[in-house]
Structure 1
Amino acid sequence: MDINIGIPNDQRQAIADGLSRLLADTYTLYLKTHNYHWNVTGPMFNTLHLMFETQYNELALAVDLVAERIRALGYPAPGTYAAYSKLSSIKEEEGVPKAQDMIRNLVEGQEAVVRTARSIFPLVDAASDEPTADLLTQRMQIHEKNAWMLRSMLE
């Protein structure tokens, strides 16, 4: 059945493509944050263990919101590690970094998600796609706050 929500197919496709990159970044950051939660050590163990848990739980909910918006626009949401690896601006790493490096890596990851979300706005604005704009605004606000909180631990 055709989708008629007031956004032409080509604009919906472009927005869904952008959201697919956002989904890939979000899922990759989720996995990295969860990995760090399991493997963090050192004097800040308890603080970081709990902070990372809070963040990966929020990311787990976020991937569903992004994927469902892609589906509402009429396109399949990517859902494999292979797809995420191609789409994500966040790279995986080998080994287990020290706690301070984990924090730095997560700041970079949080900021990468913000940049990806921000890059979709011109498409969303041109299509008057307010639901996606609302989703992007919420995601950016959360990731900017997380980056700030993590960054403050490095000072």
Structure 2
Amino acid sequence: MSEKLVESLRRVVADTYAVMGQTHLCHWNVRGRSFFGLHNAFEEQYTEMFEAVDEIAERIRSIGALAPGGLANLAKLAAIDEVAEDASADDMVRHLIKCYDKLLTDLKAARDVAGDVDDSESEDLMIARIQVHEKTVWMLKSYLE
């Protein structure tokens, strides 16, 4: 078991939880003309991430390590800023794009570490998550155009 891989995967779990939480907050508090579209899009995003984070945590367990947990621990590990509850819809989208950028950076690092230690399963999992989140960022950026 590679400690570097475990730490990378643990960071991805924390990031995913943080982005999921921020997306849920935006889902609850979005207002304005774009309410329905964003409210529904945010729900799809946090629901998808909830299922994905379980798979990543179980991957950590399958390689012999412990998955991180606890909101304070996850928040510290992720180090992702929070959006204001009263942010505008556009500011929420901009904030989530920044959150996803951090998550994508850590996913790519975990992918590279997994490749370096010949853990194809973890590498494949990270690649799949990168694809999902890059598509989400594209959609969020398209909303702002």
* Letter aligned with residue 81 of structure 1: L
Query: After the TM superposition, which parts of structure 1 deviate over 4 Å for at least 4 consecutive aligned residues?
Result: none
1:14 aligns with 2:12: no
Q: Percent identity?
A: 39
Q: For residue 74 of structure 1, what is the aligned residue in structure 2? A: 64
RMSD: 1.1
Instruction: Give the alignment's TM-score, normalised by structure 1.
Output: 0.89
* Letter aligned with residue 28 of structure 2: W
1:59 aligns with 2:53: no
Q: How far did residue 123 of structure 1 move?
A: 1.8
Q: How far did residue 122 of structure 1 move?
A: 2.9
Local SS of the residue matching 1:153? helix
**Conservation of the 8 A alpha-carbon contact between 2:83 and 2:95:** no
User: For the pair shown, which has the larger CA radius of gyration, 1 or 2?
Assistant: 1
Q: For residue 143 of structure 2, what is the aligned residue in structure 1? A: 153
Distance, in Å, in 1 between the alignment partners of 2:82 and 2:65 is 26
Distance, in Å, in 2 between the alignment partners of 1:153 and 1:94 is 20
CA offsets, 1:85-106, max 9 Å, x none?
2210422244321100001011
Q: Which has the higher helix share?
A: 2
* Letter aligned with residue 23 of structure 2: T
Q: How far did residue 139 of structure 1 move?
A: 0.4
Aligned length: 145
**Conservation of the 8 A alpha-carbon contact between 1:89 and 1:112:** no
Q: For residue 6 of structure 1, what is the aligned residue in structure 2? A: none
**Conservation of the 8 A alpha-carbon contact between 1:22 and 1:116:** yes
**Conservation of the 8 A alpha-carbon contact between 1:18 and 1:120:** yes
5+ long unaligned stretches in structure 1: 1-8
